[in-house]
Structure 1
Amino acid sequence: MESGHMTTEQFLISAEQAEAYEDRFVPALFQQWVSPVLRAARLRPGDRVLDVACGTGVVARAAAELVAPNGRVVGLDLNPAMLEVARRVAPGVEWRQGDVTALPFGEATFDVVTCQSAIFFFPDPTTALAQMKRVVRLGGRVVVQAFSSLSAQPAYGPWADLVARHAGPDAVELLGTYWSEGDVGLMRDRCAEVGLRVAAVDQHVQPAYFPDVAAMVLTEVNATPLRDRLDQAHLDRILAESHDVLRSFLRGGQLVIPLAGYVLAAERE
């Protein structure tokens, strides 16, 4: 089921999608990973922090509180729509548009670089890590969070198999992208290749929250090319069978899905 990396153009989004990301995806999924990432970052007041592929800024906003009053936090993203939402929510943070393969900063500009739930979107993760290393100071930290492989996902694994049965492996290719950097050994090798020393890798399981099974299915479908490839009959069958596959993760009507992932902290030597 695991796919290769997507091209940059596939992830350019509209203003409406960016607002939905902040309103739905951040509280449902990404907020839960902020604390593990920032614990690994070991931020202190006065630190200079770059959050790469910041989205609407959930990590950058929390980092700004930790480095106050005289620290600096920059959130960088390729998507103008994401940055517009970020500026609205936290106008006091510095937001920059840019590409991770050519970060618009000088050598050793930052003490810490973070990258939460994004490295699997990059067409070239190794180049991205090299750029993160370049802009962090000697002894500084690069912290990357990614999700474990699909085979390690107790809910998403069986659900992706279900979708593949109805929509075909090609139609669900994007679902595989989220798990494509789940091999910690491979991530360690990437770090070694660019000259980053891995200091720690912590495994985590964090909850993802959805109002119910249908909300989860429709969120996943509408956020991917599946939206354009599934007719109503196939979607109805997926919805019906998803209730059986995900029933054990219902908690009082709410769907609480365990997501396995890891946080890797590396240092520039």
Structure 2
Amino acid sequence: MPDHDKRFSGTIAQCYDTLMVPLIFHAYATDTATLVAALHPTTVLETAAGSGAVTRALAPKLDAHAHYIVTDLNRSMLDYAANRQPVDDRLEWRQADALALPFDPASFDVVVCQFGAMFFPDRTQGYAQARRVLKPGGRFVFSVWDRIEENDFANEVTDALATLFPDDPPRFLVRTPHGYYDVNRIRDDLTRAGFADISIETHAKTSHAASARDAATAYCHGTPLRNEIEARNASALPMATDLATKVIAARHGAGRVSGKIQAHVIVATG
């Protein structure tokens, strides 16, 4: 994975939270929070927390005496998430690598990670770390996106940019967010990490944006796709956004737009 696939720097973090989170992450965050809260955990670790979509959904659902540690490898994203979160003494914010967790074995009832595993350089190692810090019988709850063809806006933006850069099309969305969709591979990676009880469910939802422009801007400005566009042509971001807007509008109409999104939700027991 290129380093720029993991670089959520500059204005990307804010654009990601204001546009990408409501577009595709919020509905899954709500479901994840409900799933985790139903387990009644008193100790929770979140890895690859990003801008805090799950944190904001889950924290209000936890017991008053719960301890919730929120981590991310990216300092700017973690700071952004902490600044968005209401003051809560149950929460602790820690910069941490999901592949080398700085916590004692058997420390948590639940480890949760929404749409972060796709970015792990070594997923089996990341899963083994989650299992190591889980208490016996604890749950590792995480989600990954399904193949890009099952996710309308991401697929359409990718197609649009391939016409703008035909000799070297930006493939971030295919390669990373939508590159880890094979459920057999996921199950094998978890098994190698030591998990035996593994549940994988596929959930389709509908993504909404106020306009095709908002959807295009979310992907082109609010993800590391921006790094790929600007690496090819430093001044091409407006043109790329315009082209993606036109493709989305042509397929979904003017005004408010809706498109399919689909993800796998996994629960593995330690």
Bin the TM-score by the shorter chain. 0.7 to 0.9
Pair 32,97 (structure 1): closer, same or farther in 2 beyond 3 Å: same
Q: 2:42 aligns with which of 47, 53, 59?
A: 47
Gaps of 5+ in 1: none
Contact in 2 for aligned 1:198/1:264 (Cα 8 Å) = no
Deviates more, 1:110-119 or 1:43-52: 43-52
Structure 2 residue corresponding to 1:163, chosen from 141, 161, 164: 161
1:145-160 superposed matches below 5 A: 145-160=143-158
Task: Confirm or deny that 1:214 pairs with 2:217.
Answer: no
Deviation at 1:72, TM superposition (A): 1.2
Q: CA RMSD in A?
A: 2.6
2:189 corresponds to 1:190? yes
Amino acid at match of 1:142: F
Aligned residues: 262
Code of the residue aligned with 2:159 in structure 1: it is D
Amino acid aligned to 1:109:
S
Match of 1:112 among 97, 110, 113: 110
Q: Tell whether 2:229 aligns with 1:227.
A: yes
Among all aligned residue pairs of Structure 1 and Structure 2, give the percentage whose two residues are the same amino acid. Answer: 25
Counterpart-to-counterpart distance in 2, 1:234 and 1:65: 38
Change (3 A) 1:169 1:47: farther
Deviates more, 1:257-266 or 1:17-26: 17-26
Cα offset, 1:25, TM superposition: 2.2
Q: Does 1:249 align with 2:252?
A: yes
Q: Pick closer, same or farther for the CA change 1:39–1:197 going to 2, 3 Å.
A: farther
**By how many angstroms is 1:17 displaced?**
2.9
TM-score (norm 1): 0.85
Task: Show the counterpart of 2:33.
Answer: 38
Any residues of structure 2 matched to 1:93-112 within 5 Å, and which? Answer: 93-112=91-110
Amino acid at match of 2:56: R
> CA separation in 2, counterparts of 1:123 and 1:236?
32
Q: Indicate if the aligned counterparts of 1:45 and 1:71 stay in contact, CA closer than 8 A.
A: no
State the shift of 1:179 in Å. Answer: 0.6
TM-score (norm 2): 0.85
CA contact (8 A) 1:43 1:67 kept: no
Equivalent position to 2:67, from 65, 72, 93:
72
- Matched residue, 1:23: 18
Instruction: Give a deviation string over 1:200-253, Cα, whole Å, max 9, x none.
Output: 222112233333223322332233223312476896487357534553434x61
Aligned residue number for residue 205 of structure 1: 204
**Alpha-carbon separation, structure 1, partners of 2:20 and 2:183:** 25
Q: Of 222, 233, 239, which residue of structure 1 is paired with 2:242?
A: 239
